Amino acid sequence: MKKILSTLLLSSVICHSYAAPKNIIMIVGDGMGPAYTTAYRYFRDDPKTKIIEETVFDRTLVGMSSTYPARVSGYVTDSAAGATALATGHKTYNGAIGITPDKKPVETVLERAKKLGKSIGVVVTSQVNHATPAGYLTHNESRRNYNEIADSYVDKGWKTDVLLGGGWKYFIREDRNLVKELQAQGINYIDRYEQLAKAPTNKPLFGLFADVGLPWALDDINTHRLSLMTKAATKHLVEAKNPNGFFMLIEGSQIDWGGHGNDIIDAMGEMDDLAKTLEYLEEFVKQHPDTLVVITADHSTGGLTVAANGKYEWTPDVLRTIKHSADFISKKLVSENINAQSTKELFNFQLTADELSLLIESKKSPHKDASHNLYADKHASKVQQALLKTIKDIINARTNTGWTSSGHTAVDVPVFAFGENKEMFYGFQDDTDIAKKIFKLLEE
């Protein structure tokens, strides 16, 4: 009965006649399960006030979404299958990019928007050929075929008016320089953030700002680089004055990477970057009310627990003071003496004697490693990897943060929306329903 009622509700929503928004912005907080938005609320709380202040996630929450992949892959999705579901409305196997389980390409909402004459923007903090952007832009049997995916952006026709993120490694290669090929086609290429402000709007804009993914938010020259790129992209798309409007995909990619590494420091840094992006878009929608913004996650990562070990507390105070990523701190400690002064400068608070001993022992006997983390630097020394894990252990203990996994989990994820037609996304839905609703709005 519940399944029948859910189907009827979805059908009534899809069949209802809506005035289509001119602009649609789809945002994916990669790995951002419900514990992340809860943790962010307490992370951003002002402890000097009696109330716990709401965040942009609190005021824009409208529903929840299931995330399971095609039956062949069980109940736990990866980012490729998740992106394909959100982009096409089809379930697929883990690792698949824009194809069905029998490996047939299926149209994405981005491709449909392009056919309908809309301008297209994609802004991510990963490499631009990573699973989520690729899931909207192309089709491939494996997300790991990074060079093939990058090649397809050029060989199968350039689809974006703005494409910003990382990826020099895949676009500037010994066998092929895709950047030069695109420049020959009249596409404006930039490789520094400061060039964003002066980029002409009369030609497509392609920006790569890192070898693979961007630096962690806490380490980048602008800690709100997703917000910076989003502002530049919306400006570019608006000033193009396309009467058909635009479709834009934005991804807070590295929330997921923090989850994989059980790294609450960087998870909150990435959440803050995404939150600032949403706050900017709230103002953008006030100025452009014919815009719809939909935000969700493709899955949750790490099994984040806001309070652990049977203790009824979560204490994010130290997270508010840390100015560097765990990775940055570990690299510094490899070459510096570990003592009260050096660590105070790096952590921005005083470590205890026991915490100092843990770091010293990790450096002396690096039996720990970060091999469980999919996004660990495989070139990092055993000493750095051991220090990195100990740093995260110290912060997790200080904050009483728990993790159950270094991978993805199957929990439902939140859905947020604001702007025109946000009510279409109220309540519970599947990730494929989000794509189906966007397809419907594109055709109105």
Residues in the chain, overall count? 444
| Residues of the chain where predicted confidence (pLDDT) is lower than 70 | 1-18, 367-378
Mode of pairing for the β-strands spanning 300-301 and 205-208: unpaired
Distance from C-alpha of 412 to C-alpha of 152, rounded to nearest angstrom: 32
User: Reduced to 3 states, what is the DSSP secondary structure of residue 103?
Assistant: coil
pTM of the predicted protein model: 0.94
Q: Compute the half-sphere exposure of residue 382: CA atoms within 13 Å on the CB side of its CA.
A: 6
Superfamily assignment of 2-303+407-443 in CATH?
A: Alkaline Phosphatase, subunit A (3.40.720.10)
Question: What's residue 370's pLDDT?
Answer: 46
Question: What's residue 367's pLDDT?
Answer: 67
Question: What's residue 243's pLDDT?
Answer: 97
According to CATH, the topology of domain 315-399 is: Diphtheria Toxin Repressor; domain 2 (1.10.60)
Distance from C-alpha of 143 to C-alpha of 69, rounded to nearest angstrom: 15
Q: Boundaries of CATH 3.40.720.10 in the chain?
A: 2-303+407-443
Please identify every residue annotated as catalytic. Answer: 79
* Residue type at position 421: N
CB 119, CB 135: distance < 8 Å? no
Q: Boundaries of CATH 1.10.60 in the chain?
A: 315-399
Distance from C-alpha of 362 to C-alpha of 377, rounded to nearest angstrom: 18
CB 98, CB 219: distance < 8 Å? no
User: Reduced to 3 states, what is the DSSP secondary structure of residue 302?
Assistant: coil
Question: What's residue 365's pLDDT?
Answer: 84
Question: What's residue 8's pLDDT?
Answer: 44
